[in-house]
A and B are shown apart, each in its own frame.
Chain A
């Protein structure tokens, strides 16, 4: 099927394979490999992208469905070589380890903060529930979100204790 889609501000016109998912289209046709495939079954969230301004699992959308739509991926998050505020907060708070869940995680945080600029810890957990991470144990990601939303207090500030 012939289609036109705006991805990260660029219009792409392409013949798409009708049974391909948006995830395969992004990674294999457009070679935007920042979005990762962790399960292809909607369980892990590694492929989370913004579709018409909403976070979705790219593995749960057919490429053909995005005809005429707007898609944003991790590749558009940093501008002019500068990390976005969310990305910078992840870096400051050690919210990255192996990095495979990171793109999807950043997308979910963006979606959360768009609706809710000062989320509580419970709301942050709800917001990233669909993004599995096996390395960090999530805590430092949650701290990054508190940080970027200007909510770091002595109580929420994480840190190693020494005895």
Chain B
């Protein structure tokens, strides 16, 4: 790591938001660190200040209520989510997605919100959270705002977040609890790997949603389908929105094909 940066670990929201407001683009949020430290090491980002948000009280909270649904805090790790009894009961799809992220020791550090905020097209938590109608609660010194996850991503590693803002919570509404869900991820090996493509499909009382990763600059969501729609209709809807590329991991052609296979197979599973 070549870059010399300062480190701060605020213990309150006020202190955190103050630091962010003061340092602007030069500050980077450290949650799990599993993306940030890699990006710093490779020179992709060169922060002046790294702000560890894990010391802010209640940021690790992972709560569920019948009225609010699931609230995931900024320091909630992937393994916290994966092993949470309520998550496994209400949103087992999220646990399925979480288990495909990296390795056990990385999941002990990596945060669910970090996976989303990093905004990789292949973020493993994205297709499932999109299907489940997740909302993103954004906070800063200036106040709070909320956007649906489907409007959160703006490009490869780009989101609607401004420099002084953090994602304070991801909220999965109670209405999609106990959805039937299925997640499929194409990897190069069985062991830990990034998604070459990924597909989540949910069915909640007949309403079918499809989330797709690594198929466009941002994770995609297809809504407005039903479990009465023939598979060909669902596949056609997917074909309409995907824009995969060829890269060193696989070709565009194979991505297109596998998305179609995954959509068909997952759809079958949730019908």
Contacts and interface: CB of A to CB of B under 8 A. Distances in A.
Would A and B touch once assembled, by the CB under 8 A criterion? yes
Interface residues of A, number: 29
From DSSP, what is the main secondary structure of chain B's interface residues?
loop
Interface in B37-58: 37-38, 40-41, 50, 52, 54
A60 interface: yes
Nearest to B6: A18
Interface string A17-34: 011110000000000000
Contacts, number: 80
Interface string A44-71: 0100100000111101111011010000
Interface in B82-128: 102-106, 108-109
B235 interface: no
Interface stretch (A76-84, A94-102, A126-134, A150-158): A126-134
Contact of A111 (B37, B41, B104): B104
A60 B112 CA distance: 16
Nearest to B107: A130
B30 interface: yes
Given A21-B1, A41-B41, A108-B104, A64 B34 contact: no
A1 interface: yes
B105 A57 contact: yes
B7 A45 contact: no
A40 interface: yes
B248 interface: no
Q: How large is the interface on B (under 10, 10 to 19, 20 to 34, 35 or more residues)?
A: 20 to 34
Given A62-B50, A65-B52, A130 B3 contact: no
A130 B192 contact: yes
A65 to B, nearest CB: 6
A19 B3 contact: yes
B69 interface: no
A62 B52 CA distance: 10
A133 B1 CA distance: 25
A21 B37 contact: yes
A141 to B, nearest CB: 14
Interface in A96-128: 108, 111-112, 126-127
A38 interface: no
A70 B52 CA distance: 18
B236 interface: no
A120 to B, nearest CB: 15
Nearest to A52: B108
Interface string B156-182: 000000000000000000000000000
A18 B54 contact: no
B104 A60 contact: no
Contacts of B222: none
B191 interface: yes
Contacts of A126: 104
Given A40-B41, A62-B52, A130-B103, A56 B5 contact: no
Given A57-B109, A60-B33, A129 B103 contact: yes
Given A18-B6, A21-B37, A57-B106, A65 B54 contact: yes
A151 to B, nearest CB: 20
Contacts of B52: 62, 64-65
B7 A129 contact: no
Interface string B1-32: 10111110100000000000000000000101
26 contacts: A18-B5, A18-B50, A19-B7, A19-B40, A19-B50, A20-B1, A40-B41, A41-B38, A42-B37, A42-B38, A42-B102, A42-B106, A48-B105, A60-B32, A60-B33, A60-B38, A60-B106, A61-B33, A62-B33, A64-B7, A65-B30, A65-B54, A67-B9, A111-B104, A129-B104, A131-B103
